């Protein structure tokens, strides 16, 4: 995970914790929220890994039980080792495979979180995260007015919070920080939307950011 990508993801976590009165926050508050967020993520990651380990052990136990109870092994002497048996793709085994795939997804997410937490301790990541938050702190009204201008038919207060925060972070980078190529910023915003929001969010966000670039960048 690149440093800037980690900063954007951390910023998104911070934005989710801001209330509407963001003007009351200071840089010290941003640092405090980062620390609390990272601790929460580490705890969540540890729980997910523990759950994944338990589920994988359960899968292994079921496979062993299936092998032990297979007719090819039931007919063998008690002292003999089991022989490998063919697995029939029954509905039960399909369900177990689905569970295992879900478990692996959770494990990968937990590892991603662990990497994010590690990167959060680096000054480059922390400083850019605070820069994003501070810039939004100073320009909230302008940024939200841009979203409102291009979110045709949408009340900004009714937008998904996650979509609104992804847009805010991208607009901060595009219009106020201006320290990365437009395409990179937009692509990263779309990745955040794919990861955290709905299937329709990326196209919605892409449309608004394209108009922001056209008019304000």
Most confident of 53-57, 77-81, 131-135, 156-160: 131-135
Contact status, residue 133 vs residue 30, Cβ threshold 8 Å:
yes
pLDDT band at residue 84 using 50, 70 and 90 as cut-offs: confident
Reference 11, options 115, 114, 103, 128; nearest CA is 128
In angstroms and rounded to an integer, the radius of gyration of the C-alpha atoms of the chain is 24
Reference 80, options 72, 88, 90, 89; nearest CA is 72
Contact status, residue 119 vs residue 6, Cβ threshold 8 Å:
yes
Number of domains present in the structure of the chain: 1
* CB within 8 Å of 55: residues ≥ 6 apart: 99, 100, 103
Task: Please give the model's pTM, rounded to 2 decimal places.
Answer: 0.67
Most confident of 43-47, 95-99, 104-108, 201-205: 201-205
Q: How is residue 108 written in tokens?
A: 């990968």
3-state secondary structure of 88: coil
Q: How is residue 148 written in tokens?
A: 């409102």
Q: Which residue has the tokens 């007919």?
A: 75
* Span of 103-117, 172-186, 194-208 with lowest mean pLDDT: 103-117
Q: What is the DSSP letter of 17?
A: T
Segments forming the whole domain that contains residue 111:
3-216
Q: What confidence tens digit (pLDDT) does each residue in 153-170 have?
A: 776 677 888 999 999 999
Cα gap 91→104, rounded to integer Å: 20
- Which alpha helices (H) appear in 83-160, and where do they start and end? 91-120, 123-150
Cα gap 217→64, rounded to integer Å: 61
The CATH number covering residue 139 comes to 1.10.940.10
Q: What confidence tens digit (pLDDT) does each residue in 102-156 have?
A: 766 666 666 666 666 666 667 788 788 889 988 998 899 999 999 999 988 776 6
pLDDT band at residue 54 using 50, 70 and 90 as cut-offs: confident
Percent of the chain clearing pLDDT 70 (strictly above): 72
Q: Cβ-count burial of 95 within 10 angstroms (0-12 exposed, 13-18 middle, 19+ buried)?
A: exposed
């Amino acid at each position: 995970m690149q440093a800037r990508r980690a900063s954007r993801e951390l910023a998104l976590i911070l934005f989710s914790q801001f209330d509407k009165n963001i003007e009351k926050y200071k840089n010290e508050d941003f640092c405090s929220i980062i620390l609390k967020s990272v601790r929460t993520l580490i705890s969540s990651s540890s729980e997910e890994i523990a759950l994944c380990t338990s589920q994988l052990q359960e899968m292994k136990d079921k496979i062993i039980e299936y092998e032990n109870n297979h007719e090819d092994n039931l007919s063998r002497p008690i002292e003999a080792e089991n022989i490998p048996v063919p697995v029939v793709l029954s509905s039960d085994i399909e369900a177990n495979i689905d569970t295992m795939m879900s478990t692996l997804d959770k494990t990968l997410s937990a590892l991603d979180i662990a990497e994010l937490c590690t990167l959060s301790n680096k000054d480059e990541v922390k400083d850019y995260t605070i820069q994003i938050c501070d810039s939004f702190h100073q320009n909230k009204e302008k940024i939200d007015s841009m979203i409102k201008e291009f979110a045709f038919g949408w009340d900004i207060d009714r937008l998904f919070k996650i979509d609104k925060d992804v847009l805010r972070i991208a607009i901060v980078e595009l219009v106020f920080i201006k320290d990365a190529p437009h395409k990179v910023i937009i692509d990263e915003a779309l990745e955040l939307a794919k990861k955290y929001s709905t299937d329709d969010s990326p196209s919605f966000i892409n449309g608004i950011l394209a108009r922001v670039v056209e008019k304000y960048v």
